[in-house]
Amino acid sequence: MKIVTTPDEIQSIALAKRRQGQTIGLVPTMGYFHEGHLALMREARRRADCVITTLFVNPMQFGPTEDLDNYPHNFGRDTALAESVGVDFLYAPTNAAMYNDEFSSTVHVEGLTSGLCGAARLGHFDGVTTVVAKLFNQTLPHIAVFGQKDFQQLAVIRRMTSDLDFPIEIIAHPIVREESGLAMSSRNTYLKEEEMGAALSLSQAIAGAKAIAANPSSTSNTIKKNVRELIEKHAECTIDYVEIVNALSLEPCDTIDADSIILLAVKINKRIRLIDNSLLLDT
């Protein structure tokens, strides 16, 4: 595996691979790899001749009160893990390489970014779409693999890719969970042992929501009320949102069908923001 740090070099590599007729698979990340990240890399390895994983903690997607300065990192560990699953190039640019002093452009997606995490984290998705568009142009992938845990992000990136005519197939990978049911996240490292019960309430509440949704007479309001009650039993939890929306449009839905998805965002002791989601009906 080769480590690359500049846009020019990674783009030159990508152009050469394309000239050789190789397909390129991209896995964008902010590092501090866990099994969820590695699953995305394995999927890219399965689908592409050349795998590029990017490692860049993007300052544009963090708000002024968020955890940019404390975001976990361990470059040596990440390098070893990426190499262990067959990544060909680890692209780790600096802030200066990505955003020079004259940088002044932003990619904005209307509609899909207005609710859910977009309402709680103003400007977040502009940061996401801007950096992903840059990474697409720098690495020139045929496919890009994203996890479904960040479901709204996945929907926004799909829309941007379509709207801006990027010739890239967006691959969605199912959520990877701990044995406990907790959705894997780099932010899980912030959790103290005594906070695990509160953190697990998200996946437990989703399981309860799916059980209620199996009843054809159930409604969104009934399910959301039950989820809130289960999570709020834990004093450490502050709910940002509990929403049931259409998986394609992200518009709220009152009745449950095959496209209904429940999405949660919860802060643990006002320090750690966790998200989770699931389709309500198993198909």
* Cα–Cα nearest to 43, from 127, 124, 145: 145
pLDDT in tens, 125-139: 999 999 999 999 999
pLDDT at 164 over 80: yes
The Cα 24–Cα 14 span in angstroms is 8
Question: How much is the average pLDDT of 201-221?
Answer: 96
- The pLDDT of residue 63: 85
Domains annotated on the chain, with CATH: 2-173 (3.40.50.620), 186-276 (3.30.1300.10)
For helices 124-139 and 7-19, the axis angle rounded to 10 degrees is 50
- The pLDDT of residue 218: 93
Percent of the residues in the chain that have a pLDDT greater than 70, as a whole number: 100
* Annotated catalytic residue 234: no
> What is the sign, positive or negative, of the torsion defined by CA atoms of 267, 272, 273, 275?
negative
Query: Which entry of 37, 124, 142, 173 is annotated as an active-site residue?
Result: 37
Question: How much is the average pLDDT of 229-258?
Answer: 96
pLDDT in tens, 105-161: 999 999 999 999 999 898 999 999 999 999 999 999 999 999 999 999 999 999 999
pLDDT at 64 over 90: no
The chain-wide mean pLDDT, for the chain, equals 96
Tokens describing residue 192: 């103290």
- Whole-model pTM? 0.95
pLDDT at 71 over 80: yes
- The pLDDT of residue 66: 82
Helix (H) or strand (E) holding 29, with range, is strand 24-29
Question: How much is the average pLDDT of 233-238?
Answer: 98
